[in-house]
Each structure stands twice: as structure tokens, then as C-alpha cells.
Amino acid sequence: MNRGPQAGRTAVDYLTKTSEAWGCAPDWIIVLAEACSRSSQSAVAKQLDYSPATVSQVISNTYRGDLSRVEQMVRGALMAEVVPCPILGELARNKCLDWQAKPQAITSQLRSTMYRACRSGCPHSRISASHSSGDSE
């Protein structure tokens, strides 16, 4: 198994790639690029629960998906941003998004409680009212 840059190739300079793609990049993009430089794009992608290709596209300013969600994941996982959760107390922003994405599980009281809380007007929820109005309990 090959590790590190191949002979004759240089390692990716994520900060240069970022400045070329974004110009004056937002703070969270710079943090993302620095994290990739410190470890690897794959390791950072795993930490964010995204693919390495997505991380590359975000750094290159070519990502066509929900960039605001990626931003919130970076802010939570890499910048230690927290939000007040009405159920769990202080919670990392990326973990808040993870809870919002989980399906309801009637076998777990915490999952059911979090499912309802994320869909009943929590100010940090990204779940639209139209998406949650179909839920019945």
C-alpha cells in the first residue's frame, strides 16, 4: 500500500487551492482547508460524515449540494461550535444535525424524544415545517 505523495508529485496545498477558488474565503472554509492540510482530506471527510469528493468540491467552490449544511458540520466538528439543545443541553452543531437526520425509533425513549423535539419548533432545527407536519404521534 502506498502512503503519502507519490514520487514526483507534491502534496496538495489546500490553502492555496481555497484562495484560488474562493478569493476571500469564509472562515469555515479556511478551517476546513487547514484541517485537510494537517491530516488528510479523507480523514476530515470522515469526521464530517461526507465523502472526500464532497470536501474537495467544497474547497474548490464547485459543490452543488447544501453548502449551508456542510458549513454547520464544519462549525460543529472542526470549530467546536455548540448550540443549546432543549433535551440534551449544550450540543456540538454537527451532532445536532446528526440527531435531526435520525429516524424515529420507538424502541428508544431518547430517540423518540429527540425526534419530536427536532420537529416541534426547535430554533436550531433545519427540518422544514412542511416536512414535519406529516408526522403523527
Concatenate the DSSP letters of all residues of 22-86 into one string: HSS--HHHHHHHHHHHHS-HHHHHHHHTS-HHHHHHHHTT---S-HHHHHHHHHHHTT--EEEET
Tens digits of pLDDT across the chain (137 residues): 555 555 554 578 999 999 999 999 999 999 999 999 999 999 999 999 999 999 999 999 999 999 999 999 999 999 999 999 999 999 999 999 999 999 988 899 999 999 999 999 899 999 865 444 444 44
Spacing of C-alpha 38 from chain mean position = 18
C-alpha 56/C-alpha 18 separation (Å) is 10
**pLDDT (0 to 100) of residue 1:** 53
**pLDDT (0 to 100) of residue 39:** 93
pTM equals 0.79
**pLDDT (0 to 100) of residue 134:** 45
